[in-house]
């Protein structure tokens, strides 16, 4: 078993692309840690640095308490599973699974027994004498998994191992990976862009965007109590409503979130009140999942947004309504573009070796850091009038064109500064 510690780790590709930006992360002994984020956010780069397949540009990587930046891949005691299985085509299933033990010159009788036993656990014992070309995608991934597990490494690294499979097979193998890996108790770092996979598999999830860590916590923490607007939006199964509001405290009686055409009050007794009051007179972003909004009758006395139903959408188990309310919405705040940030890193990286490497990789690294566009401008400059997305339930109580009275569950408002960070600190 092994811990993985990333201390300020960055990766710059030649040409100056900052794929991983000053990442701090720790996977505990036996933990199942999922790296989640959109395509191109740097997940695989991070995993490949842990495996030793990519060099760490700056910062320190520790494996099991040993500084591993310069450790050869074979000396890291890690096993990796890739998206496409990557099996030896001329070896049988048994030959593929036995390979890591044969290389390690293990006793052939032990190898035979171990492979047979593992193939049963993976439900591929019927295929042991077949070649990979005759297997289904799901079976091939099971063999790849078996080959990784067979020699019981200190660390499993899995890079989207299920993404080439169809939905049914994905669900089945997901459950099996979870129980198998947990029964072995081996530390696992698992890369995916699929939020359901992350939520169902992980002990903790690290969410990344543009090379920057956005959040780190248990599935419950990052879903219910996200640290950033990006995390909230990425984990929302329906599009998250992100609304621009100005914070006011009229006569100090309560906090007013002023959406222009609508207002919502928050009493001073609300646990978030003090944190919000630090933003008086400024604009913030209010995040609301569609299921925090609902059609309410005239008699409803809680906070409401009024509008007009523009369209209704049937989703099988529920209806969603698109409501014109006149409230300005904002796009999800994102970290600055990684193409422009590397020069900043080159100027600030600790240690002369890291700085020298960065200067070699980044065009113009000797110059002043590139100006980074302030997030304040991004949030403030791009308001657009869009619809509120409201979960209507299993029956469409509204019709398109009708006035809509939308009740707001104030306890579930998520409050973000314009750079996307949470205003009231998340609990971790
Ligand atoms: P993810 O796994 O999240 O999809 P990657 O780690 O594969 O993302 O890539 C992160 C970014 O780094 C992408 O923009 C990608 O184009 C870039 N990148 C990956 N590998 C290289 C490389 N060898 N040279 C230059 N850029 C690369």
Q: How confident is the model at residue 1 (pLDDT cuts 50, 70, 90)?
A: low
Q: Which atom of ligand 1 is least distant from the CA of 41?
A: 3
Q: How confident is the model at residue 396 (pLDDT cuts 50, 70, 90)?
A: confident
pLDDT confidence of residue 269: 96
pLDDT confidence of residue 364: 66
Question: Which domains are seen in the chain, by residue range?
Answer: 4-226 (3.40.50.300), 234-332+376-416 (no CATH)
Measured from the CB, is residue 16 less than 6 Å from ligand 1? no
**What mean pLDDT comes out for the span 367-391?**
57
Q: Tokens 């222009």 appear where?
A: 260
CA of 3 to the centre of ligand 1 (A): 25
pLDDT confidence of residue 385: 56
DSSP character string of 23-34: EEEEEPTT-EEE
380 versus 83: which is more confidently predicted?
A: 83
Measured from the CB, is residue 45 less than 6 Å from ligand 1? yes
Instruction: Return the ∠ at Cα 103 (arms to 102 and 105), rounded to 5°.
Output: 60
Computed over every residue of the chain, the mean pLDDT equals: 90
Give tens-digit pLDDT for 216-248.
999 999 999 999 999 999 999 889 999 999 999
Give tens-digit pLDDT for 279-326.
999 999 999 999 999 999 999 999 999 999 999 999 999 999 999 999
The tokens describing 387, both together, are 């619809």
Provide the total of helices (H) and of strands (E) in the chain, helices listed first.
Answer: 12, 22
Nearest to 197 by CA among 160, 144, 236, 143: 160
Measured from the CB, is residue 394 less than 6 Å from ligand 1? no
Q: How confident is the model at residue 344 (pLDDT cuts 50, 70, 90)?
A: confident
Q: What is the DSSP letter of 421?
A: B
Distances (CA, A) of 112 to 89, 115, 318: 20, 5, 52
Backbone angles phi, psi at 359, to 5 degrees: -65, -35
Distances (CA, A) of 187 to 23, 101, 377: 19, 20, 41
377 versus 251: which is more confidently predicted?
A: 251
Say how far apart CA 199 and CA 195 lie, in whole Å.
6
**Residue nearest to ligand 1 atom 2, measured at CA:** 44
Lowest mean pLDDT among 26-35, 167-176, 353-362: 353-362
- Per the DSSP assignment, residues forming a β-bridge with 212 are 209
CA of 9 to the centre of ligand 1 (A): 15
**What mean pLDDT comes out for the span 52-73?**
96
Q: Which atom of ligand 1 is least distant from the CA of 39?
A: 4
- Per the DSSP assignment, residues forming a β-bridge with 314 are 319
Q: Which of 9, 41, 45, 46 most suits a substitution to test ligand 1, by most atoms within 8 Å of the C-beta?
A: 45
pLDDT confidence of residue 12: 94
**What mean pLDDT comes out for the span 146-175?**
90
Cβ neighbors of 160 (< 8 A, separation 6 or more) are: 44, 82, 83, 191, 192, 193
- Per the DSSP assignment, residues forming a β-bridge with 390 are 321
Lowest mean pLDDT among 119-128, 131-140, 375-384: 375-384
pLDDT confidence of residue 55: 96
CA of 42 to the centre of ligand 1 (A): 6
């Amino acid at each position: 078993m092994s811990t993985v510690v990333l201390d300020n780790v960055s990766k710059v590709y030649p040409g100056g692309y900052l794929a991983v930006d000053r990442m701090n992360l720790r996977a505990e002994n036996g933990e199942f840690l999922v790296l989640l984020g959109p395509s191109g956010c740097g997940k695989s780069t991070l995993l490949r640095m842990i495996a030793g397949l990519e060099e760490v540009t700056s910062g320190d990587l520790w494996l099991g308490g040993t500084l591993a930046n310069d450790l050869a891949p074979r000396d890291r005691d890690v096993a990796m599973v890739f998206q496409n299985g990557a099996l030896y085509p001329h070896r049988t299933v048994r030959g593929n699974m036995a390979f890591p033990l044969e290389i390690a010159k293990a006793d052939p009788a032990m190898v035979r027994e171990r492979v047979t036993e593992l193939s049963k656990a993976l439900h591929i014992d019927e295929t042991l004498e077949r070649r990979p070309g005759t297997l289904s995608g799901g079976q091939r991934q099971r063999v790849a998994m078996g080959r990784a597990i067979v020699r019981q490494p200190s660390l499993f690294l899995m890079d989207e191992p299920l993404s080439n499979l169809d939905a049914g097979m994905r669900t089945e193998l997901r459950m099996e990976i979870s129980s198998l890996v947990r029964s072995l108790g081996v530390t696992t770092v698992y890369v995916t862009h699929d939020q359901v996979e992350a939520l169902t598999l992980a002990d903790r999830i690290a969410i990344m965007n543009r090379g920057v860590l956005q959040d780190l916590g248990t599935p419950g923490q990052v879903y219910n109590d996200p640290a950033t607007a990006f995390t909230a939006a990425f984990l929302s199964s329906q599009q998250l409503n992100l609304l621009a509001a100005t914070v006011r405290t009229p006569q100090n009686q309560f906090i007013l979130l002023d959406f222009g055409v609508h207002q919502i009050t928050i009493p001073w007794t609300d646990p978030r009140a003090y944190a919000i009051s630090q933003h008086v007179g400024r604009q913030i972003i209010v995040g609301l999942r569609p299921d925090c909004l609902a059609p309410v009758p005239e008699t409803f006395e809680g906070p409401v947004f009024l509008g007009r139903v523009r369209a209704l959408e049937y989703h099988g188990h529920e209806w969603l309504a698109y409501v014109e309310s006149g409230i300005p919405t904002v796009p999800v705040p994102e970290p600055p573009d990684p193409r422009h940030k590397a020069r900043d890193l080159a100027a600030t990286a600790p240690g002369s070796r890291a700085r020298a490497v960065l200067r070699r990789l980044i065009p113009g690294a000797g110059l002043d850091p590139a100006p980074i566009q302030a997030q304040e401008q991004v949030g403030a400059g791009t308001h657009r009038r869009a619809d509120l997305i409201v979960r209507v339930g299993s029956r469409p109580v509204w019709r398109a064109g009708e006035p809509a009275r939308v009740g707001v569950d104030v306890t579930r408002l998520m409050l973000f500064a314009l750079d996307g960070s949470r205003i009231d600190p998340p609990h971790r």
